[in-house]
Every structure is written in C-alpha cells, then in structure tokens.
Amino acid sequence: MSKKTKAKGKGTVIKVILLIVALLIVLFLGLIIYANSLGGNARDSGSKTMITVAIEKGSTTSDIGALLEKKKIINSGSAFKLYTAYKRLDGTYQAGTYALSPSMTASEISHILQNGKTNDITFTIPEGYTEYDIASRLASIGLVDKDQFVSLLENGGFSTEYTFLKKAQKGKHNLEGYLFPSTYTIPATSDGDFIISTMLSAYQKVFTDADRAKAKKLGYSENEIIIIASIIEKEAAVDEDRAKVASVIYNRLDDGMALQMDSTVQYVLSLSSDRKKDLSIDDTKVDSKYNTYKYTGLPPGPICNPGRASIEAALNPAKTKYMYFILSDRLDDTMVFSTTYKQFLKDKEAYYKARDKAESKNN
C-alpha cells in the first residue's frame, strides 16, 4: 500500500471519528435542551384540577414519574426522570401526600416534592358518628359541599376497591360502619372521594385477618360484628361497660329475644328528623328493619361508625348472664346490668328518679 493510500485511509477514519463526536455533541446538547425544556412544560397549562398524590417512603424517581403519569399530572414518567437526572435531583424528593395539578411544570412539581411541604388540614371524626354526621362535620369546616358529599357516600361505588364492602349492606348505606373514626391530616385541596377513601383505608388496616378469624369463631360475619360494635358504640358511654353491653346483645340473640336497643330506633329517627332525649311508645313501633323493638335479630346494617374499642368489645364480649342494662342512678354515664326484668325495672326507676331530681335542682 502506498503512503498516499495510507494517508487517505487515516483521513477517512479521522473524519468518521470527528463526525461521530460531532453527532454525540449534537445529541448531548439536544438532550440538555430537551431536558431543560421539560422543566417549563405542563401537561395542561389551563387545568384548574388539583389531584392528590401520595409519595411513599423509599419511592425512586422512576416510581414517582410513573405515578405522576398514571395520575395524568405529567405526560411522561420517563421524561420526568430525565429532567430529574439532568437537574441532579435524584434522591431529593420527600415522601408525603401532595396536591398537584396538570397545570404545573416539572420544575414546579420538583420544587414541591423537594420541599416536602403541603397545605394540610386536620379534622377529627368522633366514634359513633353516622355517615351523615360526618358529612355535616366536614361541610362545617369547609372541606366538602354537604349535598355532593352525601351523594358520593350513597352512590360512590367504593366496593370495587374495598372488597369488604361487597359483604356489607346493599344500597345507599353501604359505607355506614366502615368510615373509621379518627383524626386525619390531609391536603386542604382533597376532594370527597379522597376523604372517603382515606377513612375506608383506615378501617381496612384496623379490622385485621385475626379479627375475621375471631368473628368466624363467634359464628358471625365481619359485617355482623360491625353492626354489633355500632350498637355498643351508641349504648355504652364508658369503656368498662362495652364488653358487658356486648354480652347482653349476644345473650339476647342466643335466646331469640328482640334486642330492644334504643339506639337503633334513634338511628331510624335521625334519618328523617332529630334524635330524641327519650323514646315514646309510638317511637318503638316505627316500621323499620332497624327497629330492634319490632324486629328480632340484628338490624340490616351498622347504625354508626364504631371505634376500635367497640369493635374489640364485639369480638370479646364479657361472659355474663345479663339480659338488661340501663344508665346508673349515679348519673356518671356508667351502666347497671341485670339478669331479670324485675331488677331492670327497679334500676330504671332509680335512674329516672335521680335524673329528674338533678334536672329540677338545676332548674
């Protein structure tokens, strides 16, 4: 091979190398420009929708990008990952619950996730609240529109995600009993769907497989245990009485007696009017399957949303022969229990006498 040919060959190789280098530089610059542009582009700049996103602890940038894409906040999880890598933000995002919008750019989203700060609101749902009580409470603090929230409660179709609801009562009271009472901290922009899901998820964690096994051993379903727990919640004001109230319920069920629980009638009345201080004879005759004066057995569904203490009592009733109970004449919210109707009448008379005396003294 001549020197001229060799030189020509070397020149070709150098040109190819230079071309490859040039292409790599162009590609690199293009990626930089593209990655940088991602920070300023939003999926939908005109959107006013806020979407709640929960970033779990230990989530990678890929996990976060995929979640944001799934929630339709960004167009591409891969592009978000590229932007994060370019800005050297990997590992800087904080776990938490965020309210994000498709109108936000990747730069804005990254800044929010880095700071780990959300505008949160804390609210408490007490034990014994009905689903409508919950709607009123949330509306009073401006979290929801009451009518819209009630519509969601009655027609939301949450049983697809929360399968335990498939064995609960059917119809518009499907969620009653399963909106777990607790203190919650959520983004201020959370919608009704998110709030309900949060409460159902809390119940899902509280009622365990061990509880289901215990319910089965007692001969009752999960839904029946929650019904019993809801009655306990409304009847017993102090923890020490819960297991004994549970024993009365089970003893009456075993004996085929009507439960005759005032709380079940009060629930019926609350659906159309206000609860009463004392029930009349006519009240106990109201025609509803929830009326345990008129119908034997358990009502068709829970009468409130019980807390863990009442669920525990329903699963672990005291071993007694009690068939009756009424508030104590000590007027301290405790109960007195009895095995005979005769003793119950004496306890009842003592309670009302003490209450009337206290009320007349206060007046």
Question: In terms of pLDDT, which residue wins out, 4 or 276?
Answer: 276
pLDDT at 262: 93
Return the axis-axis angle of helices 308-315 and 209-218, rounded to nearest 10°. Answer: 40
Q: What is the mean pLDDT of the chain?
A: 88
Confidence tier at 118 by pLDDT (50, 70, 90)? low
| Measured distance CA(119)–CA(186) in Å, rounded | 8
Confidence tier at 6 by pLDDT (50, 70, 90)? low
Please check the confidence at residue 115 and state whether its pLDDT lies above 90.
Answer: no
pLDDT at 21: 74
| Measured distance CA(182)–CA(137) in Å, rounded | 13
| Measured distance CA(86)–CA(170) in Å, rounded | 53
Dihedral angle sign, alpha carbons of residues 219, 223, 228, 232: positive
Q: Which of 113-122, 134-143, 256-265 has the lowest mean pLDDT?
A: 113-122
Please check the confidence at residue 40 and state whether its pLDDT lies above 70.
Answer: no
Domains along the sequence of the chain with CATH:
51-117 (3.30.1490.480), 121-206 (no CATH), 232-322 (no CATH)
Section 291-296 average pLDDT:
95
Which of 44-53, 70-79, 216-225 shows the highest mean pLDDT? 216-225
pTM of the model: 0.69
Give the phi and the psi of residue 12 in degrees, each rounded to 5: -65, -45
Please check the confidence at residue 31 and state whether its pLDDT lies above 60.
Answer: no
Q: Which of 25-29, 41-45, 90-94, 315-319 has the lowest mean pLDDT?
A: 25-29
Radius of gyration of the chain (CA): 31
Which of 48-52, 93-97, 111-115, 246-250 shows the highest mean pLDDT? 246-250
- DSSP string for 6-42: HHHHHHHHHHHHHHHHHHHHHHHHHHHHHHHHHTT--
Please check the confidence at residue 204 and state whether its pLDDT lies above 70.
Answer: yes
